[in-house]
Amino acid sequence: MRVAAGDVAGILCLVSVAAALDFKYHHAEELEAYLKGVHAAYPSFTHLHSIGRSVEGRDLWVLVLGRFPTHHKIGIPEFKYVANMHGDETVGREMLLHLIDFLVTSYRRDPVITRLLNNTRIHIMPTMNPDGFEATKVPDCYYTPGRYNKNGEDLNRNFPDAFENNNASIQPETQAVMDWIKNETFVLSANLHGGALVASYTFDNGNSVTGSLKGYSRSLDDDVFIHLAKTYSFNHASMYKGTGCDNRQTFPEGITNGYSWYQLEGGMQDYNYIWGQCFEITLELSCCKYPPANQLEKFWRDNKAALIEYIKQVHLGVKGQVTGKNGTPIPNAIVEAKGRAHVCPYRTNQHGEYFLLLLPGTYVINATVPGFKSMLKTVEIPDNTGNFSALKQDFSFPEVSIKPEAPSCPKIPLYQEFERASAAVKPTLHILALMTVMLVIFK
């Protein structure tokens, strides 16, 4: 086995780092010490940074893992997990620490994890609401005020919304995540919650255009989202059974459309999909929001395979580069699959790259440099599961020598215009209000 020089010291103290992560709740100082210890032990394939601070000044830590942890590499997709945005939903926070522990101790030992980390850049944020976690003093299965940040705001209602004006003032934790999403070209993500057992997918909000009258708010990528949610539920020990938390058949196959469950405004997953070019689902991992620490080991056993299989899905579909004259990358080119135009078009990053999550099948990919004509290519997307690479398809525009400055998508309710143009009516308000009041306590 060849070992990078920087990791020799790491392997020597590996035992102490690994042993340090027991099944208990890690409060702010312990969490920080653990992440710093991991980075010190595995400097060649981890990177630790804070993307901002909470209202009370706690760092919002992100540990990045991958062969090139400090920066994006062309062709390597960016993945993220975010937990504990509701401070009193605590299982995800500990699951992500155990996931880190598992990944660092498996790299160069387990061939699958080695390939995963060689071909994926994985960003892990164990807590988005560290103040809310510290405010929740003792385990409690039900709602506590620790759900909110220090200003009393629900962070999963705090993002710009595509369907209506969100009047909540953007919190520091939310702003940090928005800046982070803008900085990295994330492709796939999940946010981890508690209070139910289900994988819930976009949209959480909706209007008649997306199908709200039928009680389901459907994106054009609904097939991909269903696949993503099922990847989690069927690799989980019991989520796929769909029995929810009261032994009744609540969620068939352990998944649900967010809006079908209950409508919400300003959620993080819709924001990722609309403005972040990132597919995100919401994972409810435990019926009890803050269970006793002696259950954490079982939660880890139940979730471990699902957490890993879900990351692999970042390699679905097709990816590539759009280049112009002399092969220079073209940023801000619009690249989308025909029939799946996003309301805020998905654009290439500064390296001219695009990543489109699509299930196996035949698609027409439309690459458009603003001001020039479009180029259409038919691609046959194979079942790439386990290959750790999406299909590659580049686009070349040799006549283009400019770098288009696409205006970034405005943060206004982008679906409102569609609704005005349609004749349909909204569902009666009192039904929405009733659903919201009854169920507002989970995601």
Ligand X SMILES: *[C@@H]1O[C@H](CO)[C@@H](O)[C@H](O)[C@H]1NC(C)=O
Residues in contact with ligand X by CB under 6 A are 51-52, 67, 111, 114-115, 118, 164-165, 167, 176, 179-180, 183, 334, 338, 341, 345, 366, 368, 374, 376, 382, 384, 387, 389
- Rounded-to-integer distance, Cα 269 and Cα 243, Å: 24
Nearer to ligand X, 168 or 228 (CB): 168
Shortest distance in whole angstroms from residue 219 CB to ligand X:
17
Q: How many chain residues bind Zn ion (CB under 5 A)? A: 3
Angle at 337 between CA 331 and CA 342, to 5 degrees: 75
Nearer to ligand X, 57 or 382 (CB): 382
Q: Out of 153, 265, 284, 336, pick the active-site residue.
A: 284
- 147 in Cβ contact with 89 (< 8 Å): yes
Q: Which does 417 bind (CB under 5 to 8 A by kind): ligand X, Zn ion, none?
A: none
- Rounded-to-integer distance, Cα 241 and Cα 253, Å: 6
By three-state DSSP, how is residue 99 classified?
helix
- 412 in Cβ contact with 163 (< 8 Å): no
Give the bridge partners for 355, in sequence order: 319
Q: Which does 86 bind (CB under 5 to 8 A by kind): ligand X, Zn ion, none?
A: Zn ion
Q: Which does 378 bind (CB under 5 to 8 A by kind): ligand X, Zn ion, none?
A: none
- 181 in Cβ contact with 74 (< 8 Å): no
**How many residues does this entry show for the chain?**
443
Q: Which does 118 bind (CB under 5 to 8 A by kind): ligand X, Zn ion, none?
A: ligand X
Q: Is 201 exposed, middle or buried (0-12, 13-18, 19+ CB in 10 A)?
A: buried
Stretch that binds Zn ion, among 60-68, 160-168, 189-197, 429-437 (CB under 5 A): 189-197
Nearer to ligand X, 288 or 343 (CB): 343
- Rounded-to-integer distance, Cα 174 and Cα 51, Å: 11
Stretch that binds Zn ion, among 81-89, 92-100, 180-188, 232-240 (CB under 5 A): 81-89
Angle at 85 between CA 228 and CA 106, to 5 degrees: 60
Preceding peptide of 203 cis, ω within 30°: yes
Q: Is 221 in the site for Zn ion (CB under 5 A)?
A: no
Nearer to Zn ion, 39 or 443 (CB): 443
Q: Is 86 in the site for Zn ion (CB under 5 A)?
A: yes
Q: Which does 193 bind (CB under 5 to 8 A by kind): ligand X, Zn ion, none?
A: Zn ion
Q: Which positions from 345 to 384 touch Zn ion by CB under 5 A, shown as an x/- string?
A: ----------------------------------------
Shortest distance in whole angstroms from residue 339 CB to Zn ion:
33
Cβ neighbours of 179 (radius 10 Å): 12
Q: Which does 89 bind (CB under 5 to 8 A by kind): Zn ion, ligand X, none?
A: Zn ion
Nearer to Zn ion, 7 or 140 (CB): 140
DSSP 346-414: -B--TTSEEEE---SEEEEEEEE-TTS-EEEEEEEE---TTSSSPEE--EE-TT------PPPPPSS-T
Nearer to ligand X, 176 or 358 (CB): 176
284 assigned to active site = yes
With CB under 5 A as the contact rule, the residue among 93, 193, 218, 347 that binds Zn ion is: 193
- Taking alpha carbons only, the member of 356, 354, 367 closest to residue 397 is 367
- Rounded-to-integer distance, Cα 12 and Cα 17, Å: 10
DSSP code at position 329: B
Nearer to Zn ion, 193 or 347 (CB): 193
With CB under 5 A as the contact rule, the residue among 78, 89, 336, 419 that binds Zn ion is: 89
Q: Which does 179 bind (CB under 5 to 8 A by kind): ligand X, Zn ion, none?
A: ligand X
Residues carrying an active site annotation: 284
Contacts with Zn ion by CB under 5 A lie at: 86, 89, 193
